[in-house]
Structure 1
């Protein structure tokens, strides 16, 4: 029957009407929910994502731009396409710099096809996570500082003094231990602020590996350690900003990012007792003679050169992919991009501040893929 009208509109007051008022909104909500899930899944299929190292970010970002442009140029169906609007089989290519540890952890997520790290996983960790790692390029970790020095002067540090700075044993720039390494350079009595990464970082792993041989170093080594004092910063961008904002501060970051930010770089004492900066030539000496065949799954690839011209914080950049991914199409696309980084972007490496791997190494790595990745091109 018809009840009294609401706002002039008759309202049915029956049991069926009441049920409809309850059921219809529920059905609408279920349909909308299903559409959201479907669109979200489609969105994940429409992107090819990588994540990880901030030290390797400049290289990956430049390589993505070049890869997009190359793919557009090779697509006869889109002659007017540019690198800015390119999509690969419907999948957008992007990279999130969350730190090496964050990238490795995110590789287990369905929407992440590859990770980038500046330290290698152990064999046990590779087996546990069911991933494969291999080198992509060679970079350098720089010790950067915000310190006024006389024109032409370069700060020199060894393991002991740098470890003392990060443990809090050395607190001023004119400390006798630092002045002894820098004869003829007038150092100010400015307080030192040691800036470190707060997130799990391959940069931290490289630095603490270097410092682990210093007397009095007790923090250990790894991507995430317990620092004594200092200032914590998240990601490379946060560390650079923290050093720039604090006169007398010191930190560690990829060399090109430090240079582009206007920070000055220190020379570090190497295994031969020589003080060397992160130049291309010094990096090449550091990695000369490395074996890229992957017999140990690239676990022990870290440079250990004893040459006088070698830079001690030269760092291989690694890519990691799953052995048996949930999305094999995405895994194939990721491997295609990583092969582009290895084979076709040598000029990008140099512009971004990295060294490409030798040609023979690229062939060895692709042979390694075929033996360890079922979806690798044959």
Structure 2
């Protein structure tokens, strides 16, 4: 294993963050199969580019990035990626400041912040947002005597803004007719740090649940107690009877937390989180710029999915790249790295709390990556 390869044993935590503000009148659904073919048909890559790439950004994608780098190490002996997990905002700043070759971000470049223009100026060409790995956010709970729980977006929104205060509230009972729900007070646990997970969760509540508190990386519910980072949230929840929180799936798995099933607009049937149910949601997604190699996603098409059996609280992390690099060797290396990321790099994702790319999206990513120069 090369110096930046990391043993798969540390991959139990982390999930990729996806965020992109929902927009109107979007088309371009990904459609197609949710199956993947990440290794046996992996294309050969040109390893003649820059030997070591430098990148930074999202901490949420760090564990998946380790898998990607390992795959790149194996495919291109002597080539490497030095990735610094310093947060999405810092990653975008490093990229637009020409300190790195690409950025990892749990948000697509934001026009309201002038980020696409700044990135294009740094690149000398348009920058593209490429979603490489997806993972769900789970609603987790700690209620004595309750091991199976159904929620929907509207009820979840009312819980996290404090409108629903006890576990035996009629709205929760309606979704769980066979459960014995206690009168225990609900204790919300939220991320107190600036978090892409919080942003994506609040976007889901806004798009699908009528949440009026706004999105963003700060929790706006106005109730509960905060903890910094997914591990701390998981720990706090485990110590709080009546607690409810939101964490990335791999953290819920690692800490053996109770995970709620989520009812969607597709018949109202509660959906359990799984690689398959997340894949169905991804395949129903639409793009904000259909027909473009910028693949920023319209999250509302996932949050309000009508696909049967699709889990709706899904996030993705983007790799933000130049469409044309001033240095040809850098462009070659970025293409080689991303090619291995969406092929060989997908192999271990499903066992580490992520959802591998559906073939339909993988095809679009491959075309965009091939267009990088």
Q: Which of 276, 279, 283 matches 2:278?
A: 283
Q: Which residue is 2:65 aligned to?
A: 60
**Matching residue of 2:119:** 129
Question: How much has 1:134 moved relative to structure 2?
Answer: 0.9
After superposition, what is the alpha-carbon deviation per residue over 1:310-348, rounded to whole angstroms, capped at 9, x for unaligned?
Answer: 111123332112457788756654443232111212321
Q: Unpaired segments of 5 or more residues in structure 2?
A: 1-50, 121-126
Map 1:195-210 to 2 at 5 A: 195-210=189-204
Which residue does 1:120 correspond to in 2? 108
Whole-Å separation in 2 of the counterparts to 1:216 and 1:281: 27
1:321 is aligned to 321
Whether the 8 Å CA contact 1:287–1:305 is kept in 2: the answer is no
Which of structures 1 and 2 has the bigger CA Rg? 1
Find the counterpart in structure 1 of residue 165 from structure 2.
171
How far is the alpha carbon of 1:193 from its aligned partner?
2.1
Please list every run of 5 or more consecutive structure 1 residues that lacks an aligned counterpart in the other structure: 1-44, 76-86
CA contact (8 A) 1:48 1:330 kept: no
TM-score by length of 2: 0.71
- C-alpha contact (below 8 Å) 1:271/1:312 kept by paired residues: no
Q: Size of the alignment, in residue pairs? A: 309
Give the Cα separation in 1 of the matches to 2:210 and 2:305: 24
Matches of 1:174 and 1:204, distance apart in 2: 26
Please name the residue that 1:312 is paired with: 312
Q: In 2 relative to 1, CA 66–366 (structure 1 residues): closer, same or farther, beyond 3 Å?
A: closer
CA 291–170 in structure 1, closer or farther in 2 if over 3 Å, else same: closer
Give the structure, 1 or 2, with the largest relative contact order (CA under 8 Å, sep 6 or more). 2
- Cα deviation, 1:211-236, whole Å, max 9, x if unaligned, reads 11567632112334533122223333
Is residue 244 from structure 1 mapped to residue 238 from structure 2 by the alignment?
A: yes
Moved more, 209-218 or 155-164: 209-218
Structure 1 stretch displaced more, 155-164 or 207-216: 207-216
How many Å apart are 1:136 and its aligned residue?
Answer: 0.6
Residues 113, 244 of structure 1: CA spacing in aligned structure 2 closer, same or farther, 3 A cutoff? farther
TM-aligned CA deviation for residue 47 of structure 1: 7.1
Distance 1:112 1:248, change over 3 A: farther
